[in-house]
Amino acid sequence: MTAKCILVVDNELYIQEVVQIALETINNWRVVTASSGAEGLLKAEKERPDAILLDMMMPDMDGATTFQKLQANPVTQTIPVLLLTAKIQTADQKRYQAMGVHSTIAKPFDPLQLPTQIADVLGWQL
Amino acid sequence: MTVKTGFPDRSTDVFLVRSQKYAHNWSSDSLSDSIGPNVGRPMMRILVVEDDQPTAETLTTLLNQCSYAVETVADGEAAADLVNAFEYDLLLLDVMLPKVDGITLCRQLRNQGHTMPILLLTGKGDSHDKAVGLDAGADDYVVKPFDLEELEARIRALLRRGHLHTSPILEWGRLQLDPSSTQVSYHQQLLALTPKEYALLELLMRNPRRVFSCGMLLEHLWTYEDMPGEEAVRTHIKGLRHKLRDADAPADMIETVYGIGYRLKPLAELEAETPSFQQENQAAIANIWQRYHARIRQQVQALEQASVAFQTHQGHLNADQQQQAEQEAHTLAGALGMFGIHAGTHLARQIEQLLHQPQPLGTEDIGEFQHQVETLRQTIEAHGPVSPTDTLDSLGTLPSLLVIDADQDWIADLTDQARYWDWTVQTVKDLDAAHRSLTQDVPQVILMDSAVADCKDQTLAFLEQVTHHTPPIPVLFYGLPEGLHSRLEVARLGGKAFLEKPIAPMQVLQEVERVLHQSQSITAKVMIVDDDPSLLQLLPPLLEPWGFKVSTLADSRLFWQTLVAVSPDLLILDIEMPHVGGMDLCQIVRNDAYWHNLPIIFLTAHTEAETVNQIFALGADDFVSKPVVGPELVVRLVNRLERMQLSQQLWQVDTLTKAYKRQPAIARLDQMMKRAQDLQQPLSLALVKVTNLRQINAEFDLETGDSILRQVGYTLGQGCGKDDVVARWSSNEFLMGLQDVQSMEAEDHVQHLCQDCLQAHALTHAAVPMHLDLGVVQYPEAGTTLSALYKAADCHRMGRQVDD
């Protein structure tokens, strides 16, 4: 089994780091980080990750816009996107589904559980 | 008396030779060391029985290349002896041999119950011969001239089969070892093992339920010619554990069986455990929290500013401020829970909702907002920045090493290596930084490049600081030979060792380990008297791994001669024995003028108060109830010996000068003379006399005299090597024994020490004149008895006043 590559797009550095530690040390996945929507788009195209964790609320380009652009690009449109979001009300959930994201992971997450959560929603075997 | 104090005995020399040899092994290992296929072949012990010299040599070369430990022997009889004495993993056996032929030997060994695989080598290749060989108990048969590659593969196959493993891949939980590719992985992650670590793991995995003592591991993994000390095994175990931990395996996958040795942790226990990586991850996350604490405070400050703005602008925020505050509250809500601050997440979420409400906020909401921001700040502060020491504590404290060196490359190498030794390394560039560092953290060992000091005085001042530390911190020097070259000088400075550059970090760490080990270990002779043969069998393997040398005696009638022959440091007695009981023996010992101080521990099934009182009344030091619980007995023994050591010191050492009292010194000096004679080494005796002590006492006061004696005793003691002795011989005389030093050199050295005394004296008691005389003689040239030597030294001393 080759190690999975995950792209994390979040403007907060410490969240990037926690995700990175959780995924790299627990599951040996490779983690690529981006601090803005724009950087996320570039890295998604370049790295072709197996999945993208996308923060919803970011300055400049928010998660929703980033997601739309990912979808518009034939290179990145097939990559499953998981929204990493602290907005977890039902209304929000519905809106995300309507947008076509694969699923959402609520913030704050338990770092030790995060890899399992991701693998579960994507149907990956650990 | 063989209890080791911080000052090691002579056995260290042997040890050093061993550890250097071992260092050599290791470093050649590490050259070829890397992940997977490049790892050397499994280190298994093979005995080659072959009388044809060229064939034997070819085989040895081939097998050595495959990293097997190989021994060769040329006849069947010698082979039988070796096999009966030592354990081999495989025999390569020639059929045509002198004395006993291969087929016969094979049959013999099988009849004796030896089960190791046997591969027959022969020039006779017909089917009948093969059948005879196999029927004799051989496992395989190779016809000469043989193909080396085939032979190697057959050996591998036999080693697999020999341990009754059907699958060539060994597994233990998530740990996998593939002998054919020599790859080891944990949970699909490859481990980069050195050949020795690999061999160690293979042995454990092939015998998963067996406990291996250090000695057994040594026998399996090394040949007799280059067998290192047991600490080498511990080092490799440490390295292996570290690599397992790096691969997220539980570090105690290789379990220490208290007092016995090592084994693989039983699978059931492994599965029941929470993986240790959880702890490591928590530590890593705590580390992120610490590093970003400032950023998080900044985010809270943004909320505090919003709170102030709400109050000053009647519930209004400008758009920028509103957006920023909401962003920060949102991030905090999403993040604090990750760090385990769930209350913080809850508060931040409420703050976010309040910010989302249409403005202006009502007075009540403003108050609520202010309150929540304040609570959030307190919650975060209560969680605090996690200090690095907290994180370390959660992982267990590691031994620490302070390195004083300016060579960054070398330090990087050392730090890298130290990781595998479970040392934490702190490095500083100079002595000033070292002084500062010592006020914060106290390392267990200091390693110092002798070149970092600008002058000798600086080194001395530093050593002064560390040797006065309680407990004193051992210092190891390394540097160019011309810096501090004399062993005496290093010892004089209080250094524990001096290593000459160039030196590999690995070698240095071994030395560090040795020094630390020395300052902790106890080696003592224990004599056990008990009529129960099973107990006498059980106790030695239990106690020996702890450094005890155990002698047993079943027949108490032979007590006295055994006691004298063994000369134990501690006695363990059974109460009830035929002929003479333990209580009687105890009484005999206590009444003897020479032995009355010997510590005695009773082993007894009788733990009722009456018996216990009785044995203590007879002078027992302790008792341990039967059935014996190993760890308890070990702890009791160690405690007893440590206390004894302490009282011995009190009894032997002059409280004023910290030098030996005369009586115990006589015993030591007698030993030194005997030793010098046995080893044909020189031994020097130096007599140092404060000639005007009487005048000082008369003209000034006794306290001044005492302080001078204290100064002299201390300086001489500091200048003494680990095998040397300083004694207060009479009120104003000190006698020093300097082992393995010619009198010329000794005189020079002690003269310097005396000058140091005078200098120190001039600083503290400028008004008091002090005169020191010095006489040095050599044993046996100047005399063969202590009194003769003393007289000669006294003669030699006359008029040899030391001037500052």
Cβ-nearest to A21 among B284, B335, B342: B284
Using alpha carbons, select from B169, B200, B196 the residue that is nearest to residue B185: B169
Q: How far apart are CA B432 and CA B190, in angstroms?
A: 44
Give the residue on B whose Cα is nearest the Cα of A108. Answer: B334
Q: Which of B330, B345, B352, B391 to mutate to test the interface with A (most CBs of A within 10 A)?
A: B330
Q: How far apart are CA B475 and CA B464, in angstroms?
A: 11
Q: How many residue contacts between A and B have a Cβ separation below 8 Å? A: 74
Using alpha carbons, select from B499, B490, B518, B504 the residue that is nearest to residue B417: B504
Q: How far apart are CA B43 and CA B217, in angstroms?
A: 11
Q: Which of A14, A15, A105 to mutate to test the interface with B (most CBs of B within 10 A)?
A: A14
Give the residue on A whose Cα is nearest the Cα of B353. Answer: A87
Which chain A residues have a beta carbon less than 8 Å from that of B249?
A: none
Q: Residue B545: its pLDDT value, please?
A: 64
Q: Show Cβ contacts of residue A25 under 8 Å, excluding neighbours closer than 6 positions.
A: B248, B277, B280, B281, B284
**Mean per-residue pLDDT pooled into runs of 10, chain B (804 residues):** 34 30 31 34 78 89 85 91 84 89 87 82 75 82 83 84 54 82 84 88 81 81 76 87 83 76 78 58 78 85 89 86 88 86 87 86 88 88 54 43 85 76 78 80 82 75 69 74 54 66 76 63 76 83 74 88 81 89 89 80 80 84 75 72 63 78 85 85 93 88 85 83 85 91 90 87 83 92 91 85 74
Query: In angstroms, how far apart are the furthest CA atoms of chain A?
Result: 38
Cα radius of gyration (chain B)? 35
Using alpha carbons, select from B101, B71, B97, B98 the residue that is nearest to residue B86: B71
Question: Over the range B542-577, which residues count as b (16 or more CB within 10 Å of their CB) and which as e?
Answer: bbbbbbbbbbbbbebeebeebbeebebbbbbbbbeb
Cβ separation B337–A109 shorter than 8 A: yes
Q: Residue B398: its pLDDT value, please?
A: 54
Cβ separation A25–B331 shorter than 8 A: no
Give the residue on A whose Cα is nearest the Cα of B249. Answer: A26
Q: Residue B471: its pLDDT value, please?
A: 56
| Complex ipTM | 0.85
Q: Is B529 helix (H, G, I), strand (E, B) or coil?
A: strand
Q: How far apart are CA B571 and CA B139, in angstroms?
A: 50
Dihedrals phi, psi of A113, to nearest 5 degrees: -90, -15
Nearest CA of chain A to the CA of B247: how many Å?
A: 9
Cβ separation A26–B277 shorter than 8 A: yes
Cβ-nearest to A22 among B281, B292, B327: B281
Nearest CA of chain A to the CA of B285: how many Å?
A: 6
Cβ separation B296–A57 shorter than 8 A: no
Which chain A residues have a beta carbon less than 8 Å from that of B334?
A: 15, 84-86, 107-108
Asked whether the CA dihedral B625, B631, B637, B642 is positive or negative, the reply is negative
Q: How far apart are CA A113 and CA A121, in angstroms?
A: 13
Residue entry with tokens 């046996």: B780
Q: How far apart are CA B240 and CA B227, in angstroms?
A: 19
Reduce the secondary structure of B262-308 to three states and give it as a string: EEECCHHHHHHCCCCHHHHHHHHHHHHHHHCHHHHHHHHHHHHHHHH
* Distance (Å) of CA A112 to CA A103, B340, B345, B516: 19, 11, 18, 38
Cβ-nearest to A18 among B248, B327, B338: B338
Q: Residue B111: its pLDDT value, please?
A: 75
Q: How far apart are CA B802 and CA B748, in angstroms?
A: 11
Which chain B residues have a beta carbon less than 8 Å from that of A28?
A: 189
Query: Token pair for residue B331?
Result: 């991030």
Residue B335 and residue A107 in contact, taking contact as beta carbons nearer than 8 Å = yes
Q: Show Cβ contacts of residue B128 under 8 Å, excluding neighbours closer than 6 positions.
A: none
Cβ-nearest to A14 among B248, B284, B335: B335
* Distance (Å) of CA B445 to CA B400, B437, B475, B785: 7, 13, 6, 40
Which pTM was predicted?
Answer: 0.33
The neighbouring-strand residues paired with B801 are B773
Nearest CA of chain A to the CA of B185: how many Å?
A: 14
Using alpha carbons, select from A9, A63, A12 the residue that is nearest to residue A33: A9
Query: Token pair for residue B704?
Result: 């001044």
Q: How far apart are CA B710 and CA B726, in angstroms?
A: 13
Cβ separation B331–A13 shorter than 8 A: no
Give the residue on B whose Cα is nearest the Cα of A28. Answer: B189
Cβ separation A21–B333 shorter than 8 A: no
Nearest CA of chain A to the CA of B338: how many Å?
A: 5
Question: B293-312 and B319-335 helices cross at what angle (nearest 10)?
Answer: 140
Nearest CA of chain B to the CA of A63: how many Å?
A: 13
Which chain A residues have a beta carbon less than 8 Å from that of B345?
A: 108
Could you read off the pLDDT of A8-46 as tens digits, one per residue? 999 998 999 899 888 887 778 899 999 999 999 999 999
Q: Residue B686: its pLDDT value, please?
A: 95
Q: Is B778 helix (H, G, I), strand (E, B) or coil?
A: strand
Cβ separation A26–B281 shorter than 8 A: yes
How far does CA B491 lie from the centroid of its chain?
A: 21
The neighbouring-strand residues paired with A34 are A9
* Distance (Å) of CA B309 to CA B301, B347, B572: 12, 19, 80
Query: Token pair for residue B478?
Result: 């390394």
Reduce the secondary structure of B422-470 to three states and give it as a string: CCEEEEECCHHHHHHHHHHCCCCEEEEEHHHCCCHHHHHHHHHHHHCCC
Using alpha carbons, select from B36, B40, B46 the residue that is nearest to residue B155: B46
Cβ separation B337–A108 shorter than 8 A: yes
Pick the residue with more confidence: B334 or A48? A48
The neighbouring-strand residues paired with B448 are B404, B477
Cβ-nearest to B295 among A14, A25, A86: A14
Nearest CA of chain B to the CA of A40: how many Å?
A: 18
Q: How far apart are CA B121 and CA B421, in angstroms?
A: 43
Which chain B residues have a beta carbon less than 8 Å from that of A12?
A: 331, 335
Chain B residues with at least one Cβ partner in A under 8 Å: 188-189, 248, 277-278, 280-282, 284-285, 288-289, 291-292, 295-296, 327, 330-331, 333-339, 342, 345, 349, 352
Is the pLDDT reported for residue A113 higher than 50? yes
* Distance (Å) of CA B455 to CA B445, B458, B462: 22, 5, 11
